[in-house]
Amino acid sequence: MTILVCNTPFDPWQELARHQQALEQCGRYGATACFVGTLRDFNEGETVAAMTLEHYPGMTEKYLSAICAEAAQRWPIIDALIVHRAGEVTPNDTLVLTAVWAAHRAEAFAACRYLIEELKTRAPFWKHETLKAGARWVEHNTPG
Amino acid sequence: MISVKYFASLRERMGRAEDRIDAMHARSVAEVWAEVARGAPWPANMLAAVNHAYANAQQQVYDGDEVAFFPPVTGG
């Protein structure tokens, strides 16, 4: 299980490839499921020019690790990866990557969904949007 | 001492990122809030953590603890 909070842009597909190449369980996993979250240039009727992702260092890593461990207890998965961006981002930047490797797709999809949904409700991140005119804190996530 | 941290819109509202208070002045999360907010009521939707774990207002706090207050999280 790997979790990473990074303050600079990352390419989710490179992260996926790098992680999968390093997996030692070749031949055991038949399914890789992933979710990639990307910053839109619109939200709740406003044009979004940029966004700042604030987080609580220490607590963030603790909860991302706990969420991975919970997924591994609930489903027979082989490995999981979470990469989450922090700091200044602009539209089309990747915000988050969650990925799961498992023997079969059912547990891979279910566990990957669990990672992103739990992360959104429990990991201490906050979004501050820069709009065309002004700025605002995002008060709630959009429904899954 | 108890270290108190604020994040996001609550940090802006408080006008500072952290405080340190004497542990003698607060025995629970609610009492920590009362101390740093000078009696202002607990804001609607505000969340709290003690030593990096979510906590309710009644949770006890001790000397050396780190308490944090913040709005609902919006990651992902």
ipTM of this predicted structure? 0.96
Residue span of the structural domain in which A43 resides: 2-137
Structural tokens at position B54: 């979510």
Q: What is the pLDDT of residue A143?
A: 80
| Assigned domain for A142 exists | no
| Assigned domain for A67 exists | yes
B76: closest CA of chain A, how far (Å)? 5
Residue of chain A whose alpha carbon sits nearest to that of B76: A120
Per residue in B39-74, pLDDT (tens digit) is 899 999 999 999 999 999 999 999 999 999 999 999
Per residue in A66-103, pLDDT (tens digit) is 999 999 999 999 999 999 999 999 999 999 999 999 99
CA-CA distance, B48 to B62, in Å (whole number)? 15
Does the pLDDT at position A6 exceed 80? yes
CA-CA distance, A112 to B53, in Å (whole number)? 23
Q: Do B72 and A139 touch (CB under 8 A)?
A: yes
CA-CA distance, A144 to B10, in Å (whole number)? 26
Structural tokens at position B76: 């992902």
Domains in chain A, number: 1
- Angle at the Cα of A112 from the Cα atoms of A107 and A117, rounded to 5 degrees: 125
| Assigned domain for A109 exists | yes
Q: Do A56 and B71 touch (CB under 8 A)?
A: no
Does the pLDDT at position B8 exceed 80? yes
Q: Which residues of A27-44 are buried (b: 16+ CB within 10 A; e: fewer)?
A: eebebbbbbbbebeeebe
Which CATH number characterizes residue A48's domain? 3.90.1170.40
How does residue A133 score in pLDDT terms, banded at 50, 70 and 90?
Answer: confident
A107: closest CA of chain B, how far (Å)? 21
| Assigned domain for A94 exists | yes
Tell me the domains of chain B and their CATH numbers: 2-70 (3.10.20.30)
Q: Do A122 and B76 touch (CB under 8 A)?
A: no
Per residue in B11-47, pLDDT (tens digit) is 999 999 999 999 999 999 999 999 999 989 999 999 9
Q: Hey, is B47 helix, strand or coil?
A: strand
Show which residues on chain B lie within 8 Å of chain A, measured between beta carbons.
5, 7-9, 49, 52-54, 68, 70-76
